[in-house]
C-alpha cells in the first residue's frame, strides 16, 4: 500500500509499505481523511519523531475494511473516526479511567504506524462509528472536537452561566459550541482576527471581541455587567491569552487551560494575584478520554455532529492534499502563519 513514510528529519516520502491486516481484537481501516496535527509538524520538520521509518497521522476517518477475531462492535463498511490513544489499561490512572494520564500508553501515528497511509490497523475500541449524516471530513475532526469537550468538562460545567473562549481557532470554535450545547447563558469568543470572530458568530457565539481593540477589557466586562466570566477557557496556549484568562475570570470562576504553552511565561504580582483575590479555580486539560474508553467525549461528538448541533464549517479546512502530496503539506508549515486551519490528507488520492 501507499503511505507517507518519515525516514528522517525533513524527509517524508510517498512510498510503498506492506499493507497490514487486522489481528485479533483489531480492525483494519481504509483511511479517507487525516488532519495534520500541530504535534505532527515537529515529528517531520524537527527532532520529535520517536523512530524511523515511521508513519504518522492520528486525526482520521475511514471505513472498516476487515475485522479481526473477537471483534463484535464493528463490521466491514462501517464509517469510523480513529481514536489515537492506546492506554495500557493496567496502571492506576487507567484503572481510574484517567486514560489521558497513562504513562505506559501507545499512540497511533507516533508510537505505532498511523493513518498517513491507505490503511491503518487499530484496536476495536479505537474506532468510533458515525452515521451517514456525518461526513468523512467531520470524521477527521473528532479528535479536536473531543479535546474541546474534555476541556469544557474539566470544569464543573453547568448551564446558565457566562463563558469566555480565548482564541478563535478550531479548538476555540468547538469549545464555544460545546458550551452552548450544554446550556451557556452567554458565550463570548476573543480573538485578534476578524475572520475568526465572524466565524464565531456564524457558529453561534453570543458576542465576539477583538482583543486588538484598546478597550476590549471594558467591552468584555460590560457583557457580564462588570462581573467577569463564570467560565474561562483558554484555547490558544499563548502568553497574552493566558494572562487574559486571569483578568476576565469572575469571582469564584473556573478557568481551564486547554491550549498548551509554547514558551516560558511570567506573571506580574498583580496579574497572578487575580487568582487569590477572585478565588477562581484554575485547571488544565490533556487529551480527550474518559471511562468507559474512549469516553463520552467521542460518543457525544458522533451524536452532536449527527444532529447538526455541533456545527462544522468548511473554513476549518485550510487545504486538502492527496497522500502523494504529503511532503508539500509539511513544507507549508515552514512559513510561519501560512497554514490557516487544518490540512487534510486524502488517502484516496
Distance between CA atoms of residues 222 and 226, nearest Å: 5
Check binding of 208 to Zn ion (CB under 5 A).
no
Question: Of the listed pieces 86-94, 224-232, 259-267, 291-299, which binds Zn ion according to CB under 5 A?
Answer: 86-94
Is residue 19 classed as helix, strand or coil in its secondary structure?
A: coil
In this structure, the number of other CB atoms found within 10 A of the CB of residue 63 comes to: 16
What minimum distance in Å lies between the beta carbon of 94 and Zn ion? 3
* Subset of residues 95 to 134 that bind Zn ion, contact rule: CB under 5 A: 102, 104
- With respect to Zn ion, which residue has the nearer C-beta, 36 or 164? 36
Distance between CA atoms of residues 150 and 126, nearest Å: 17
Distance between CA atoms of residues 171 and 147, nearest Å: 7
What minimum distance in Å lies between the beta carbon of 18 and Zn ion? 25
Kindly list the distances between the CA atom of residue 201 and the CA atoms of 160, 186, 204, 207, 306, in Å, as whole numbers in the listed order.
Answer: 19, 12, 5, 7, 21
Distance between CA atoms of residues 188 and 167, nearest Å: 10
Binding flags for Zn ion, 15-54, as an x/- string (CB under 5 A): ----------------------x-x---------------
- With respect to Zn ion, which residue has the nearer C-beta, 21 or 95? 95
Nine cell digits for residue 35? 488532519
Grid cell 463564570 is found at 230
Among 1, 17, 74, 88, which residue interacts with Zn ion (rule: CB under 5 A)? 88
What minimum distance in Å lies between the beta carbon of 49 and Zn ion? 15
Distance between CA atoms of residues 11 and 203, nearest Å: 38
Peptide bond between residue 33 and the one before it cis (omega within 30 degrees of 0): no
Judge contact between 137 and 312, C-beta under 8 A.
yes
Question: Of the listed pieces 90-98, 123-131, 171-179, 229-237, which binds Zn ion according to CB under 5 A?
Answer: 90-98
Among 1, 17, 91, 339, which residue interacts with Zn ion (rule: CB under 5 A)? 91
What minimum distance in Å lies between the beta carbon of 240 and Zn ion? 23
In this structure, the number of other CB atoms found within 10 A of the CB of residue 328 comes to: 13
Check binding of 145 to Zn ion (CB under 5 A).
no
What minimum distance in Å lies between the beta carbon of 53 and Zn ion? 20
Check binding of 94 to Zn ion (CB under 5 A).
yes
What minimum distance in Å lies between the beta carbon of 91 and Zn ion? 3
- With respect to Zn ion, which residue has the nearer C-beta, 38 or 68? 38
Give the binding site for Zn ion (CB under 5 A): 37, 39, 87-88, 91, 94, 102, 104
Amino acid at each position: 500500500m501507499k503511505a507517507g513514510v518519515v525516514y528522517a528529519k525533513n524527509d517524508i516520502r510517498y512510498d510503498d509499505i506492506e499493507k497490514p491486516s487486522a489481528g485479533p481484537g483489531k480492525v483494519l481501516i481504509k483511511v479517507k481523511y487525516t488532519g495534520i496535527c500541530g504535534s505532527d509538524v515537529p515529528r517531520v520538520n524537527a527532532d520529535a519523531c520517536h523512530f524511523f521509518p515511521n508513519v504518522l497521522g492520528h486525526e482520521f476517518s475511514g471505513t472498516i475494511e476487515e475485522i479481526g477475531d473477537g471483534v463484535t462492535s464493528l463490521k466491514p463498511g462501517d464509517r469510523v473516526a480513529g481514536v489515537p490513544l492506546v492506554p495500557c489499561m493496567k496502571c492506576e490512572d487507567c484503572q481510574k479511567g484517567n486514560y489521558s494520564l497513562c504513562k505506559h500508553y501507545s499512540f497511533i501515528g507516533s508510537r505505532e504506524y498511523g493513518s498517513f497511509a491507505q490503511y491503518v490497523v487499530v484496536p476495536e475500541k479505537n474506532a468510533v462509528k458515525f452515521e451517514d449524516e456525518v461526513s468523512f471530513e467531520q470524521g477527521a475532526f473528532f479528535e479536536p472536537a473531543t479535546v474541546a469537550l474534555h476541556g469544557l468538562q474539566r470544569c464543573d460545567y453547568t448551564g446558565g452561566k457566562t463563558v469566555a473562549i480565548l482564541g478563535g481557532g478550531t479548538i476555540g470554535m468547538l469549545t464555544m459550541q460545546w458550551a452552548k450545547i450544554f446550556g451557556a447563558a452567554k458565550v463570548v469568543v476573543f480573538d485578534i482576527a476578524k475572520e475568526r470572530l465572524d466565524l464565531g458568530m456564524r457558529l453561534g457565539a453570543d458576542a465576539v471581541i477583538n482583543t486588538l481593540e484598546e478597550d476590549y477589557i471594558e467591552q468584555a466586562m460590560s457583557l457580564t455587567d462588570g462581573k467577569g466570566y463564570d467560565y474561562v477557557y483558554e484555547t490558544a496556549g499563548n502568553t497574552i491569552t493566558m494572562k487574559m484568562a486571569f483578568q476576565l475570570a469572575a469571582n469564584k470562576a473556573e478557568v481551564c487551560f486547554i491550549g498548551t504553552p509554547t514558551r516560558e511565561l511570567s506573571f506580574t504580582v498583580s496579574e497572578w494575584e487575580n487568582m487569590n483575590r477572585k478565588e477562581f479555580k484554575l485547571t488544565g486539560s490533556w487529551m480527550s478520554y474518559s471511562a468507559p474508553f474512549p469516553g463520552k467525549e467521542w460518543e457525544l461528538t458522533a451524536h452532536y455532529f449527527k444532529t447538526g448541533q455541533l456545527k462544522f464549517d468548511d473554513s476549518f479546512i485550510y487545504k486538502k492534499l492527496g497522500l502523494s502530496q504529503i511532503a508539500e503539506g509539511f513544507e507549508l508549515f515552514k512559513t510561519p502563519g501560512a497554514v490557516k486551519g487544518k490540512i487534510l490528507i486524502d488517502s484516496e488520492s
